Amino acid sequence: MNDVSDAFMISKLLLVEDNESNRDMLSRRLVRRGFEVVTAADGESAIRIIREAKPDLVLMDMSLPGINGWDATRIIKSSSETSAIPVVALTAHAMTSDREEAFAAGCNGFETKPIEMDKLLATIDGLLARKRGPNADA
């Protein structure tokens, strides 16, 4: 039983989405793919959960009531405690400026709604692999 734990490691995702039906649907689909999923419906709870539960990756709806996804990402990325957690922006806007704005806020990935599950899973896998990789601290 050498290092098998890593192969069976379940990644914990935080899904931040204020739309209840979108949140429930995407959450169920991610659980079905083997992820542990915690959810938040606004930016304030997202920041609190990220600090407390230290998820492996965050899926961040950018359009949120109160602290929006851009500001929540800036806050997460400005703290050394949480800055290494990858954030994937989820937005209904596919414009280049939205993408650039998301990356400027510190997002590590960008997916447009409606979410294409295969594309999202590839983005998640890529970011989690990079985080676990030998150059994770680089």
Binding site for Mn ion (CB under 5 A): 18, 61, 63
Q: From 11, 8, 28, select the one nearest 129 (Cα to Cα).
A: 11
Q: Which is nearer to Mn ion, 18 or 44 (CB)?
A: 18
74 or 131: CB nearest Mn ion: 74
Q: Round to the nearest angstrom and report the end-to-end CA distance of the chain.
A: 30
Least Cβ distance, residue 98 to Mn ion (angstroms): 13
Position with the least CB separation from Mn ion: 63
CB of 4 to Mn ion, least distance (A): 39
Rg over alpha carbons for the chain, rounded to the nearest Å, is 14
Beta strand ranges found along 47-86 (DSSP E) = 57-61
Cβ atoms of residues 73 and 57 within 8 Å: no
Q: Which is nearer to Mn ion, 75 or 90 (CB)?
A: 90
